[in-house]
Amino acid sequence: MAKITFIILAHENAELVSDLARLLTGFDAHAHAVIHYDLKSPAAEFSKLKEQFAGSNRVHLVRERIKCGWGDFSLVEATLRALRLIRDKQIDSDRVMLVSGVCMPIRPLAELSAFLDSHPDREFIEAYDSSWVSGGMREDRYRYHHICNQRNHPALFKSLYVTQKTLRLKRKLPPGLVPRFGSQWWTLTWSLCARMLDFLDRNPGIYKFFKTTWIADELVFQTLVYHFVPPGNVTGHSLTFYQFNEGGLPLVFSDRHMPLLDSIPRFFARKIDPNAKTLRVELSRRALQTSNPASPLLEPPVKWRLPRREIAARKSVLEPGYSRLFANNGKEDLPESLLEYDRSFVVLYGPPSVTEAVTDQIRGLAGYTVLGRIFQPGVVNFGNNIKDFHGLRPCEAAIRDSYPANYLRRIFLRCAGIPVFAMSPGDHPEIEAHFLRSPKAAVFAVAPRFPDTTWRDLYWLLCGSKTPERAPDDRQSLNTDFDQLDGPIDTDVEIRNMLDTILQSERTPIRRADLEADLAGSHGNSAAAILTLYDIASAAMPAELGDAPGALPIEWRSNLNLPENGSTPWKIIPDLKLRPRQPESSGIRHE
């Protein structure tokens, strides 16, 4: 049986990573796992990993960790540090398999080991010429120096790139190397890995060259494998299934996709939703099964992708009244997401100046991950001036807006506690409608305490993008001024009507017992934490009126009935909901 050491590049929570490490080492006493845990991830999570594996001689942690960023050399460096740990500890390995924290085996691991035994000289890695790259830079990934991360410093990255092209500062790969490209995920012989490590140690100039390439994880190992291994021994494919849509976003598998995974001729799949508990239990059970000697070994084809008809046939069927948030969104190739989110979250819904004041007060509470206005137009606002949220960045608004459901899931999967974030009416009408119907969304609507027309108009003004230049006449409605704002609020008509009704009418406070029962029915074990957050957020309502960008004219303030004793003019309406949508009639009568 092949002795396999799995390198796990992870940033997910410690429980998820430790479960994967135990699974991968549980099928064979000779199996090892080496974990590089992203230095950007919470230190408390790494401490949990150190505690859990303190006495293990088969699960190893890379201690000299680095911050990993998509596209730059850090992903290669993290892998190299894991390989050096294998070498330094002299871990007895025939094979090394590189996986991520959201990869899982989809076939028995014993079958993987038997398969590798039957192909002792084969290297399972994609290694192709530049035509493998489907879009963006190809040869320019290595022809020019890339000394900063495009996502962190997009303007600087582009400026340096354009300047080098203008000055014709093109460079070539070091002598003897031929560029090859392919997926980051591979399974290689340890003898080859040791040879590549030795080569880079003896050639610091080549190592330095690769450090300034772009998307190095799809270039470095692929190029070195092609340099050392006869072409006939390079398979041209990985043993891990992955697939991206045309927007560059990966497919994610949920509980309902076991039949789909059964059809995939690979040993691992990426990405498996951390919240897909039923699927993860089944895959874990399957991974530890013994292989059947009488069954023919899987022979993965070199190229295999999910056929469109398979995706269409197995795609989630939305229940009547369920939002299209996770549907195809009109694209014909891949669904925007293969998942429905089944974890509770909280939305503070109202004027940005007010919700921001609340999130600033509650940020840091144990058990919650409090973010900012993540659907703010033009920027992904993670709150608290966060520039990097576990690999996601404020500058990714275009990515978020192209695939909002998928991006939202990426945010949620990085939340250690219950996700809490702010949203203003008009930020994203389709998603607002989904949140207001989703049983897993606790929508806390921030509204004025006073049900009159002037306060209603102020509410919508504060949700807008510009303050009117003139003050209204005495007791004049703000409607005329609101209609003249530069940024009209483009929200769902049904939502607008619902909010207007709430803003202009007295609302009977919900009984505490009824609120507890409603939250328990939708949020189960999370209900108590959500109720606690409601109490804390209500107490954190600002006493100030709140301002749109700029300052409200003093005349406007004088037209408002402000509360006495400095108490807050704002309140929270808990768990706001729209009526479920009724399925469209087919026009057929059923007797």
Helices (DSSP H) in 1-138: which residue ranges? 14-25, 43-52, 74-88, 109-117
Which H or E element spans position 190?
A: helix 190-202
| Amino acid 149: pLDDT | 85
* SS3 category, 570: strand
| Amino acid 549: pLDDT | 41
| Amino acid 244: pLDDT | 72
- Parse the chain into domains and list their residue ranges: 4-134+176-287, 345-573
| Amino acid 23: pLDDT | 97
Q: What are the CA-CA distances from residue 193 to residues 86, 97, 223, 229 (Å)?
A: 10, 11, 13, 11
Q: Judging by DSSP bridges, how do beta strands 59-61 and 187-189 pair with one another?
A: unpaired
Which H or E element spans position 34?
A: strand 32-37
| Amino acid 546: pLDDT | 60
CA dihedral 417, 398, 406, 140 (to 10 degrees): -110
pLDDT < 70: residue spans in the chain: 135, 245-249, 291-297, 303, 305-342, 452, 454, 465-493, 504-508, 543-568, 578-591
Q: Is 226 left (phi over 0), alpha (psi -120 to 50) or beta?
A: alpha
Mean pLDDT, the chain, integer: 81
Q: Is the pTM of this model over 0.85?
A: no
Give 6's strand partners: 33, 97
The CA distance from 107 to 266, in Å, is 8
| Amino acid 324: pLDDT | 34
Q: Could you report the per-residue pLDDT of 112-146, keeping only the tens digit for each? A: 999 999 999 999 999 999 888 876 788 999 999 99
| Amino acid 307: pLDDT | 56
| Amino acid 483: pLDDT | 47
Q: Could you report the per-residue pLDDT of 169-210, keeping only the tens digit for each? A: 999 999 999 999 999 999 999 999 999 999 999 999 999 999
The CA distance from 62 to 55, in Å, is 15
* SS3 category, 59: strand
Q: Say which CATH topology domain 4-134+176-287 has.
A: Spore Coat Polysaccharide Biosynthesis Protein SpsA; Chain A (3.90.550)
